[in-house]
Each structure stands twice: as structure tokens, then as C-alpha cells.
């Protein structure tokens, strides 16, 4: 294809998801058009059945999806991808569909599926695996937040250790064992290191966990609970100011953001008791099925709906450690010895190949997609999140 392919980005309401698609589009050697899709209220929380349809969308509030149809669609997530599949059917095969992230269901409707290392799909020429999710944050936002919070934190003793908590998902359970681990880490930060522990929760962190931390945390530590407007949320600031970032194993997004910064990073273990352990075993089994001699059966399992894909959180943690991007749990992780690769560059090259378009000119090191590692407390100018 000699001309620039007409490209649409079909995006929903999840900013983190949208940003991954936008990062790709920003590095394509041709322009794109963003189509914002609004989900009907009754389908915002419940998951609609996966099929090619617009029935789940508020069409009056969404950007129009009308011919002439594009040559290429980039999308992410269950709800936008259902609309992308509908569009491809209307275009009668003239539109290429590219999905970022693991599909809800089969890979068959897509020309390319881009997944990061924690996702396991049946072996296919349509699947491209990259190391880390394409999550990144505008460094100027981190710099601004760091400068805003610096005076509020300046009197607290260093080192500053940030404990960043996600929430139960997949095989993980937020139980007493995790709370004790965080409390013990906060105590050791104060007594053994003479520093300050910052515990920052997220929307997914269970309220009982937050309340117990609030009741039992040492006065020297600081708790910032999600939704507490009075206390504020120093998450962005701590990504720039903390001497170490400790992230729970369930939060691939926070682990990715920290790893891409080149900051001292450690993974906080989260319990997988009972059914959680069984779920993790299932994920490991699927990983083995999708590789080695059993790989020939994987597409059949996907078509039958038995196991179309899965995420192996433990495998993702191993990758971070093996690549020198993170350490196993410790409250004083060393500086990383590795650096996140140029996943965006690989994705752009694959899309150019898919569309028969010339590759873009190589970026200089100064303009590389992945940030150079930054030291803690160097926030004047540019500081990465």
C-alpha cells in the first residue's frame, strides 16, 4: 500500500487502555482518526456477550461509525473490539483489525493481536508478543506532581520507600498475610533503615485491608487511601521522589510503569490460597499447552472455548526479574541492571508490514520511546513516572 492507510482508533472509557493504543498511533508514519465510543449505562459494569455488534453502545453519544470504512482499525478492550468486529463485517474484509491486549474470546476475527508477556494465546502468525504493556505516563505530569509534594514530604526522613497496592484479581487474595507483610515492611523501613514508608492504595484495594493498615500502621509511616481527597494521592509524585518502589504482584500496570522508568523496583508477593492456587495452576497449565509439543492442540481449545487465552502473573514477575528490571521482594531493591526494550518500535514495524507501508526513519537515542533510567529526587526539569 503506497498511500497512507486510513486508520481509526476505536477507544472506550478506560484511559490506561486508550493510552496504549494512542502511543502506537503517535509513532506510526501516517495519521490516524480517533473514534470515541460510549457504552450504554446497563453495560458499563456487566460484560456484554462477545460478538460483532453495536448494541452495547450509546450511538448518539459516540463518534459516528459510518462509511467510507478505514483501511486499518486499532482497538483495545472487550466493548470497543466488539464494535471493531462489526465494522470489519460492514467493510466486507477491506479493513484490517488490530487488537491491543488479549481478546475476549477467539483471535480469529483479528488480523493482528498484540499482547505482552503475561498473556498466553494459542500459537499463531496473528499474535505478536512484546515484553511489557505499552503503559507510560507523561513525565511532565510526574515532574509537576513531584514539585507539588516535595515541600509536604521534605521533613520526613529518608530513605522513602513506596508500597503501592493493587487489589485481588485472578489467583490473588488480599488477606491477613499480605497486610502483615506490608506492616512488617513499614516497620523495617522505620527501624532498620531509619526512613519513611508510604503506603498508597488503589481503587481495587479492599476496604478491610485499608482499615487494618490505618489502625496498625506506625505513626512514622504514611497511608494514602484511594478516594481520600483530604490526604490527596501522591502516586505520581512518589514515582519520581521515592528511593524504592514496591508494587504488589497483582498490578501489572503499576509494575510496568515503574519498570519503564528504570527505578529500583521490588515485587510484593500476594497470597494465592485455596481456589487462587488452583487458578494459578490452571494458568501455568495453559502456558504449557500453548508451547512445546502440546501447541498443536491449543487452537482447537480456543475454538472450543475451553481455553482461548490466559494471563500468568508469576511468569510476568519472572520476566521482570530475569531482565533486570525488578527484584524479588526486598524493601531496598538495587538499581535495575536492565532496561525496557523498544516495544513500540517493534509494533510499528509490524503494522507497516501488515499494511505494506514503508518503515519510519529510526529514532535517535534522545527521542527513544522508552525513558532513560532516572535517579530518585532528580525531578527538576524532566522526571519520569
pLDDT of residue 105: 81
* Residue 184 belongs to domain with CATH number: 3.40.50.2000
Residue span of the structural domain in which 356 resides: 7-131+341-360
262 shares its domain with 151: yes
pLDDT of residue 120: 73
Tens of pLDDT along the chain (385 residues)? 558 999 999 999 988 899 999 999 999 999 999 999 999 999 998 999 999 999 999 999 999 999 999 999 999 999 999 999 999 999 999 999 999 998 888 889 999 999 988 887 777 889 999 989 998 777 888 889 999 999 999 999 999 999 999 999 878 899 999 999 999 999 999 998 999 999 999 989 999 999 999 999 999 999 999 988 888 899 999 999 999 999 999 999 899 999 988 899 999 999 886 544 555 455 556 555 555 555 555 555 555 554 445 677 888 999 999 999 999 999 999 999 999 888 999 999 999 999 999 888 766 544 444 544 444 443 332 222 2
57 shares its domain with 111: yes
Could you give the number of structural domains in the chain?
A: 2
DSSP 174-234: --HHHHHHHHHHHHHHHHTS--EEEEE--TTS-HHHHHHHHHHS-TTSEEE-TT-TTT---
Domain end among 236, 253, 268? 268
What does the block give as the cell for 262? Answer: 528504570
204 shares its domain with 262: yes
124 shares its domain with 167: no
> How deeply is 21 buried, as exposed, middle or buried, from its count of CB atoms within 10 A (0-12, 13-18, 19+)?
buried
pLDDT of residue 307: 46
Domain end among 243, 268, 293? 268
228 shares its domain with 163: yes
149 shares its domain with 105: no
- 14, 37 in Cβ contact below 8 A? no
| Cα separation, 256 vs 273, whole angstroms | 25
| Cα separation, 47 vs 307, whole angstroms | 18
| Cα separation, 246 vs 197, whole angstroms | 10
What does the block give as the cell for 206? Answer: 479492599
pLDDT of residue 298: 54
pLDDT of residue 343: 92
pLDDT of residue 302: 54
How many C-beta atoms surround the C-beta of residue 311 within 10 A? 20
What does the block give as the cell for 346? Answer: 517493534
Domain end among 221, 240, 268? 268
pLDDT of residue 382: 28
> How deeply is 5 buried, as exposed, middle or buried, from its count of CB atoms within 10 A (0-12, 13-18, 19+)?
buried
263 shares its domain with 350: no
Residue 62 DSSP symbol: S
* Contacts of the segment 96-100: beta carbons below 8 A, 24+ positions apart: 96/5, 96/71, 96/72, 96/354, 96/355, 97/73, 98/72, 98/73, 98/74, 98/351, 98/354, 99/75, 100/17, 100/20, 100/21, 100/24, 100/74, 100/75, 100/76, 100/134
Q: How far is CA 356 from the centre of its chain?
A: 29
- 71, 1 in Cβ contact below 8 A? yes
Amino acid at each position: 500500500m503506497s498511500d497512507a492507510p486510513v486508520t481509526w482508533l476505536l477507544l472506550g472509557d478506560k484511559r490506561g487502555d486508550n493510552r496504549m493504543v494512542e502511543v502506537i498511533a503517535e509513532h506510526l508514519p501516517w495519521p490516524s482518526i480517533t473514534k470515541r465510543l460510549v457504552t450504554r449505562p446497563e453495560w458499563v459494569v456487566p460484560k456484554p456477550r462477545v460478538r460483532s455488534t453495536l448494541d452495547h453502545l450509546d450511538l448518539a453519544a459516540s463518534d459516528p461509525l459510518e462509511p467510507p470504512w478505514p483501511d486499518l482499525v486499532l482497538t483495545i478492550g472487550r466493548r470497543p473490539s466488539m464494535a471493531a468486529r462489526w465494522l470489519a463485517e460492514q467493510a466486507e474484509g477491506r479493513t484490517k483489525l488490530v487488537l491491543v491486549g488479549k481478546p475476549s474470546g477467539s483471535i480469529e476475527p483479528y488480523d493482528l493481536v498484540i499482547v505482552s508477556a503475561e498473556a498466553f494465546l494459542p500459537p499463531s502468525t496473528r499474535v505478536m508478543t512484546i515484553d511489557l504493556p505499552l503503559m507510560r505516563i507523561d513525565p511532565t505530569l510526574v515532574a509537576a506532581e513531584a514539585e507539588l509534594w516535595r515541600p509536604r514530604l521534605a521533613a520526613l526522613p529518608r530513605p522513602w520507600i513506596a508500597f503501592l497496592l493493587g487489589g485481588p484479581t485472578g489467583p490473588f487474595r488480599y488477606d491477613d498475610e499480605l497486610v502483615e507483610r506490608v506492616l512488617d515492611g513499614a516497620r523495617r523501613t522505620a527501624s532498620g533503615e531509619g526512613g519513611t514508608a508510604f503506603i498508597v492504595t488503589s481503587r481495587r484495594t479492599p476496604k478491610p485491608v485499608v482499615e487494618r493498615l490505618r489502625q496498625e500502621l506506625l505513626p512514622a509511616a504514611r497511608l494514602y487511601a484511594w478516594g481520600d481527597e483530604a490526604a490527596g494521592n501522591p502516586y505520581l509524585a512518589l514515582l519520581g521522589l521515592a528511593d524504592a518502589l514496591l508494587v504488589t504482584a497483582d498490578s501489572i500496570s503499576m509494575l510496568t510503569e515503574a519498570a519503564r522508568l528504570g527505578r529500583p523496583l521490588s515485587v510484593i508477593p500476594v497470597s494465592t490460597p485455596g481456589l487462587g492456587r488452583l487458578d494459578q495452576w490452571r494458568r501455568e497449565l495453559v502456558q504449557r499447552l500453548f508451547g512445546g509439543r502440546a501447541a498443536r492442540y491449543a487452537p482447537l481449545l480456543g475454538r472450543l472455548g475451553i481455553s482461548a487465552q490466559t494471563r500468568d502473573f508469576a511468569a510476568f514477575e519472572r520476566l521482570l526479574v530475569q531482565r533486570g528490571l525488578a527484584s524479588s521482594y526486598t524493601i531496598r531493591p538495587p538499581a535495575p541492571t536492565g532496561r525496557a526494550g523498544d516495544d513500540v518500535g517493534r509494533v510499528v514495524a509490524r503494522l507497516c508490514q501488515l499494511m505494506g507501508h514503508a518503515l519510519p526513519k529510526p529514532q535517535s537515542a534522545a527521542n527513544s520511546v522508552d525513558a532513560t533510567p532516572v535517579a530518585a529526587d532528580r525531578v527538576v526539569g524532566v522526571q519520569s513516572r
